[in-house]
A = this chain, B = another copy of it.
Amino acid sequence: MERLYLIREIRKPEKPVLAIDIGGTKISMAILSREGEALTGLTMPTEAGQGPEAVIERLLDGIDHLLSGNGLLPSNLAAVGLAAAGVIDIKNGLVTTSPNLPGWRDVPLKSLISQRYRLPTFLINDADAAALGEHRFGAGRGLNTLVLLTVGTGIGGGIIIDGELYFGSRASAAEIGHMVIDVNGPKCACGNSGCLEALASGTAVAREARGRLMRGALSSLVEMAGGPLENITAELVHRAAREGDILANEVIAQAAFYLGIGVSNVVNIFNPEAVIIGGSLSAMGDLLLQPVREIVKDRALPLLARTVRILPARLGNDAGLFGAAIYALEH
């Protein structure tokens, strides 16, 4: 049953593609050959708090810098593939809203780039891009049906059905991070309460650790943070947990529990062959994934639980870049 999904319709195959991944924390860009080899790249902080105009200005500077630094003109490229954290209007190339890019509302990112560089440009959601990347080159190779969750600052989702990215009627669908799993739970960046993202993202892990410390719990995290509790990040909680800190382990176990509930829902809804967990929290490995597997086995409907695999992503932070490039080359 192994199928090989190759990049099928190559646009000017001799030319490389510019792939850009705009996340809530950083922007990555790379020039990729058609074989998926990164020829050159750069990463910069998003500084999303400055609002869309400032972010886009620096994005364009970054592109210009990458091109000129490598002696490239836009005409040396085949296409631009963009991935962005947010709800994307595929048809019109807009970032309509984005919980992790404050102030972005119907930003015509696709036409901004295509008009400036006169290149075919494609814009998809970053987690959709990561799902495509993992399917073609990573943990999902050869599968027909999978769901990817990127668990980082926020939680994004991407769905592959019959080997192709699933888009809904108009947008990047798969906003699985904004699936409510605890209607009375904590407030989410999207305005609702108890979204998966509000309970199991990196932001949620850091918030929960800080909250427990403020309520007087003891932990090596205080010393590790070396100053204000705002210094506590999910990464720091992970480090403390590995070093045996009880509070840190409890906080991660709690996030894993909620992630397990969310993944069980996904399994019950999609009956996928695999659920792939990516994003920065996937660096926690089995500390996060093993409890998720047990909760799914326990809670998802038996037939579905028996047949699903819960896998870590393989492409790391590059999945979105790969996916954006693949999407641009295939369309």
Distance between Cα atoms of A71 and B194 in the complex (Å): 58
Let me know if A304 and B182 touch, CB within 8 A. Answer: no
In the complex, the answer to whether A261 meets B180 with C-beta atoms within 8 Å is yes
Does B302 contact A168, Cβ atoms closer than 8 Å?
no
Beyond A144-B169, A168-B304, is A268–B183 a contact (Cβ under 8 Å)? Answer: no
- Whole-angstrom distance between the Cβ of A290 and the nearest chain B Cβ: 20
Decide if B145 touches A271 in the complex (CB within 8 Å).
no
> A294 to nearest B CB, angstroms?
14
**Contact status B169-A97, CB under 8 Å:** no
Q: CB distance B301 to A97 under 8 Å?
A: yes
Cβ-based interface call for A184 (8 A)? yes
Which residues in B have their C-beta under 8 angstroms from that of A304?
87, 168, 170-171, 173, 175
Q: Which residues in window 154-170 of A have CB below 8 A to B?
A: 157, 161, 166-170
Chain A residues near B (Cβ < 8 Å): 87, 89, 96-97, 144-145, 157, 161, 166-176, 178-185, 190-192, 194, 258, 261, 264-265, 268-273, 299, 301-304, 307-308
Given contacts A161-B161, A161-B166, A182-B184, A303 and B89 within 8 Å (CB-CB): yes
Which residues of the other chain, B, contact A270 by a CB distance below 8 angstroms?
168, 173
Q: Is the CB of B183 within 8 A of A271?
A: no
Task: Tell me, rounded to whole Å, the shortest Cβ–Cβ distance linking A170 to chain B.
Answer: 5
Minimum Cβ distance to chain B for residue A126 (Å):
15
Taken together as a complex, chains A and B put the C-alpha atoms of A167 and B273 apart, in Å, by 12
Contact among B171, B182, B191, B308 for A271, CB-based, below 8 A: B171
Known: A169-B144, A181-B183. A96 touches B302 (CB 8 A): yes
Which residue of B has the minimal Cβ distance to A166?
B161
CA distance A303 to B308 in the complex (A): 31
A170 CB contact (under 8 Å) in B174, B181, B192, B303: B303
**What is the chain B residue whose CB lies nearest that of A190?**
B301
> Which B residues are in CB contact (< 8 Å) with A299?
180, 191-192
Cβ–Cβ < 8 Å partners of A191 in chain B = 299
What are the residues of chain B within 8 A of A258 when measuring CB–CB?
183
